[in-house]
Amino acid sequence: MQLDWLIRMKEALDLMEKRLDGRLDIEEIAKAAYVSPFHFQRMFHMLTGMTVAEYMRKRKLTLAAQELATTSAKVLDVALKYGYDSPESFSKAFRKIHGISPSEARNPGVSLKAFPRISFHLSLKGDKDMDYRIAEKEAFTVVGKSIEVTCQNGEQSQHIHKLWQECHRDGTITKLASLGADENLLGVVEMQPDNETMTYTIAGIAGPEAATEGFSVKTIPASTWAIFTSVGPLPGAIQNVFGRIFQEWFPATGYEISGAPELEIYPPGDTTAEDYRCEAWVPIVKK
């Protein structure tokens, strides 16, 4: 199963390279990997730390810089070739990656960034079991405090950490833990289809008479969940579990992520303790 996954991902990457001078068709790319577009983009982001669009952008601007440095092609022609509608938008993106304008790339001895093609490798770990269970759960309601953040350059982790700090400081955590259904806190991860942005909510499960004023209210749809236990201090332990789910568990199973929110379930306790136990809930569908 893992070898099949590796071959399919390589074929998808090959197709992405062929599409660098054209418009990205994520449905075509995902089809090469035999998964849904959402699953492909979520897997790609979790495995590489980049969104598909971010990776493609860096690869295109790497090739564009090489072309400008080694040929007499016009900046406008290179911009259009790599999918930019105007020299202005191309110049802005180019400067963000290389720190110089496209025309300066022609200067002898100028320093340019080269972002190489990535590759996936099969890692046979086997040194640590991944215990999990599959559960069905009806739709339920959560209430909490939300932020929308970009997933580019790993910025989401910093913003989420700040949100938790703020919620501890202003008493939000205490309020959410007393909403009535249970004492667990939730981290609710809602990825946009392109994985470029996400909404993260620190929430509690709403009881029938929970006071929701001042909080955002969300319905978690009925889903099939793969549930994994995390043991260790936060946030490192649960981040490691989510990483292993996408690096090891999905490639070895016949499931893919459904597109419903992903959940972090935090029971009361010392979250800095070596034996702190919490859970990662991933919504799944059979391929």
131 — pLDDT class (breaks 50, 70, 90): confident
The whole-number pLDDT of residue 39 equals 95
Specify whether 83 is located in the same domain as 223: no
22 — pLDDT class (breaks 50, 70, 90): confident
Specify whether 99 is located in the same domain as 181: no
What residues does 189 pair with on adjacent strands? Answer: 200, 262
Q: Is 100 inside a domain boundary?
A: yes
What residues does 226 pair with on adjacent strands? Answer: 134, 282
Paired tokens of 24: 């990205």
pLDDT in tens, 193-218: 888 999 999 999 987 766 678 899 99
In 3D space, the residue among 205, 230, 39 whose CA is nearest the CA of residue 138 turns out to be: 205
The whole-number pLDDT of residue 182 equals 80
Specify whether 262 is located in the same domain as 148: yes
Number of domains comprising the chain = 2
**Contact between 92 and 190 (Cβ < 8 Å):** no
Q: Would you say residue 180 has pLDDT above 80?
A: no
The mean pLDDT of the chain is 91
Place of tokens 């981040």: 239
Q: Is 183 inside a domain boundary?
A: yes
